[in-house]
Chain A
């Protein structure tokens, strides 16, 4: 009887086209949009040589020439050597960020705004004046000063590779799919409760005990949810090349717990909210979207802001627990942060299920 109820609930869920769209297709479509829109962001933020122009002649011109060496991949500038009129025209057309006018006296910088490129141009030009000043401390040996100034300090980059912050968008997408699974849990529960659907009324008058009916529905909802999530994982890993880290068992465990949290929200809404289907769906969608907003879906910085200033909010937010769990797997080698999120999800699901059980115990049918 339990298996019979499980199989039919599973079929009913799969035939609900709207439900399948929101839990299966919508995350895939949204993931594709994320991929298309964000794939250029990180390469776009990487430093590119600043476009400048150099006007006039002086001894300092060689400094700009060496900093614009086309053979140097890490060069600071792409310099063009023009008259002031030409440089001004390019500046007006925003082809260059600024230009430097070299004279026998002080160099003069003309910029078109307050950006970082403009600041780098002024910083380098400041350095020319500063070098002149240093020369005054050792007028007898300018060669020694220049030699010292050529020696750059040793800076060792220890950044590591895992700094791709757009991954957070995809982690929130997984979180959204897990929590949208709440709708599946809610509809599945409706199949077992007399006030949930016509089928629920039929089940209520059948000899199947309520506990078993609920269990069959919940398992059908969970399985449907896992199939949707597995599809999303396959798509994001194979097509969108999302990096979830290397620990597959931990990734699967986190996904299972995330789905459980989503399901428990749906069960709690079905058991505790006495309202029409639209209101219940509205509650699940609102909780999911608000949770994902705080976890960084609509702006990655939001997650950092909430984590830094309102940490309790994100500690209680299941969407953030899932997102942060994947972030911990992607970034850190130690399991502490991952385990904290995993146990938080289990605790959250436990509380939701407990509340649902209390709510259901009071009902006769």
Chain B
């Protein structure tokens, strides 16, 4: 109990760090919720674009109206700097410039030019498909009528034709939110939990405290066992807090079989984080240096293992190197849940083998931590 009380005292002094990492996760979770998609029926994607229409013809007006139905047109005016900033920061992915006299020239059978600016992503490809579709339709219809009101009516009628679309999507949106939340939680566990445990260990490595422990009735083995248990209880509480937060923030996404696997996965990951903290705590006793080391470890693992940037966007070389970090296997399990069609034996086999790798890392960190502790004790006696 004495050790536990001591641990609690140090934990209390580190409460700000725990709160900061939890708040970061909370903000991320809340922001994440707003991006969740609708489920059940198919809703077409609407790319973000800008249209600079300098033509007063009916065709240009019709094209702008059509694009405003199919896309989200940002109201940015005609200032080039504003338009460029929006394109650069991916607020929009496509800008269409309609020059003066375009409608007249096109309907006269000429091949006038439209200028576009694009970031080249799939939103831009969709916007370009829509622009092309409208203009080819308009030109084809114009070939068979001279009456502009008939033309507009026909173009509208043609573009209303839509194929029957069925969707097989179920609750993928909610599960994706849950996976994003749990991926990000790895950073909070590494940054917050590991930092605090290292600080606790560093405090207990203080020379005066070590001397007091040495003359007490408690054996060193008992003392270490209690220290490990106390930190284990803290890590478990930290992990449970995040699981609770996920239930409140993500809701439906975690109240499924996949959600339970996400929870089990973070629990296993916390065990590896706990042992990593013991390793760092035994290697470094300078409290000032711990902040730097934990920051580098947490940010490094998060950037390299797909916590901040989706795994599919990471270069192959980075992903290969990431195999050497437990966070990679943790994120891999989470991502697997997103794509697996059902929770079946094949999925369980993959999930359990990933968890086994994480636990193997935990065992390795424990052995290294024990070796480091033994060497440090030997140095002190020597």
* Chain A interface (Cβ < 8 Å from any Cβ of B): 18, 21-22, 26, 29-30, 33-34, 36-41, 44-48, 50, 76, 88, 91-94, 100, 106-120, 122-130, 132-134, 137-138, 144-145, 148-149, 151-160, 163, 165, 168, 300-301, 303-304, 307-308, 327, 331-332, 337
Contacts and interface: CB of A to CB of B under 8 A. Distances in A.
A164 B158 CA distance: 39
A47 B114 contact: no
Given A106-B163, A113-B172, A134-B140, A158 B117 contact: yes
B118 A137 contact: no
Interface of B: 37-38, 42-45, 47, 81, 84-91, 97, 106, 111-126, 128-133, 135-137, 139-141, 143-145, 154, 157-159, 161-169, 172, 288-289, 292, 295-296, 299-300, 303-304, 308-309, 312-315, 318, 339, 341
Contact of B166 (A26, A39, A108): A108
Given A18-B292, A126-B162, A130-B161, A33 B304 contact: yes
Contact of A106 (B164, B168, B304): B164
Given A152-B136, A153-B135, A118 B314 contact: no
A134 B159 CA distance: 10
Task: Please indicate which of the listed interface residues A93, A128, A151, A163 has the most CB atoms of chain B within 10 Å of its own CB.
Answer: A163
Contacts of B144: 137-138
A120 B126 contact: yes
14 contacts: A33-B304, A37-B309, A91-B168, A94-B339, A109-B165, A113-B37, A119-B44, A123-B130, A132-B161, A133-B161, A134-B137, A152-B132, A153-B106, A163-B119
A134 B145 CA distance: 12
Given A29-B296, A92-B168, A154-B114, A116 B122 contact: yes
A130 B308 contact: no
Given A18-B288, A29-B296, A156 B114 contact: yes
Contacts, number: 229
Contacts of A160: 117
Task: Please indicate which of the listed interface residues B139, B288, B289, B313 has the most CB atoms of chain A within 10 Å of its own CB.
Answer: B313
Contact of B91 (A114, A304, A332): A304
A137 B154 contact: yes
Contacts of B126: 116, 119-120, 123
B89 A301 contact: yes
Contact of B81 (A122, A152, A337): A337
B129 A120 contact: yes
Nearest to B125: A47
A39 B315 contact: yes
A331 B88 contact: yes
B87 A163 contact: yes
Nearest to B162: A126
Nearest to A110: B166
A236 to B, nearest CB: 16
Nearest to A37: B303
A289 to B, nearest CB: 11
A304 B81 CA distance: 13
B69 to A, nearest CB: 13
Contacts of A128: 163
Contact of B45 (A47, A118, A154, A155): A118
A122 B292 CA distance: 51
Nearest to A128: B163
Contact of B90 (A114, A155, A165): A165
Contacts of A149: 136, 140
B42 A111 contact: yes
Given A33-B299, A108-B164, A156-B113, A122 B309 contact: no
Given A39-B315, A122-B42, A116 B47 contact: yes
Contact of A114 (B45, B145, B163, B299): B45
A120 B123 CA distance: 9
Given A36-B315, A40-B314, A120-B126, A111 B168 contact: yes
A159 B50 CA distance: 13
Contacts of A300: 89-90
Contact of A37 (B81, B161, B162, B308): B308
